[in-house]
Every structure is written in structure tokens, then in C-alpha cells.
Amino acid sequence: MSRHKRPTSKSTSSPLWPVAAIVIGLLLLAGAAWTLLGQSPKAAVEVTGQPSLKVDQATIDLGDQKLGATVQAAFTLTNVGDQPLRFTEAPYIEVVEGC
């Protein structure tokens, strides 16, 4: 009786899971860094114990405009208090003419 060995197929490639784990880990680290670096810097605290809004410009002068013309203005509001700012209702904005 002769014994024959059955041919076995061995894969020459290494498992991909270690490489995939490293790639996923690097992607998670990159996402965390992007999230942390993408946050705007916090303003210096000027008021303690409550939130406080500070406007980057007190007035906006658009000069003389033709009737019916569309104009745009931009300003930045910053919370300079040490407490979170929450709006409980829609903010009131007043537009003053002819000042």
C-alpha cells in the first residue's frame, strides 16, 4: 500500500487585517486631528458668571444708497462671558435710519 500525499494549497499572501487595522487607525487619528484643529479659538473671557455678547463693530455705514438697492453687511458676534450663550427666542435686531 502506497501512501500519496494530497496536494495542499498554501496562500503566499499575508493576512490583510493588520494592514487594514493600521489604515483605519490612521484615518481615525487624522479625523480627530482635523476636528480639533478645525474648531474656532475661544474668545478671552471678559465677563464672569454669565454669557455676554460682543460685536466686532458698533455701527455699519453703507453710505448713500439708491431706493430699492440691495445691500449687505456682515458682523461677528462673540460670547465673551464664561457661561454658554443660549437663545430662548429669536434675537431682536433694530435697523436705524438716518443717524
Asked whether residue 56 is assigned to any structural domain, the reply reads: yes
Q: What's the domain count of the chain?
A: 1
Q: Which domain holds residue 30?
A: 17-79
Is pTM, for the whole model, over 0.75? no
Asked whether residue 99 is assigned to any structural domain, the reply reads: no
Give tens-digit pLDDT for 59-79. Answer: 888 888 888 888 888 888 888
Identify the band that residue 32 occupies on the pLDDT scale cut at 50, 70 and 90.
Answer: confident
Q: How far apart are CA 38 and CA 29, in angstroms?
A: 14
Asked whether residue 1 is assigned to any structural domain, the reply reads: no
Residue matched to cell numbers 458682523? 75
Asked whether residue 86 is assigned to any structural domain, the reply reads: no
Q: How far apart are CA 87 and CA 76, in angstroms?
A: 16
Give tens-digit pLDDT for 49-62. Answer: 888 888 888 888 88
Strands (E) across the chain are located at: 53-55, 77-79
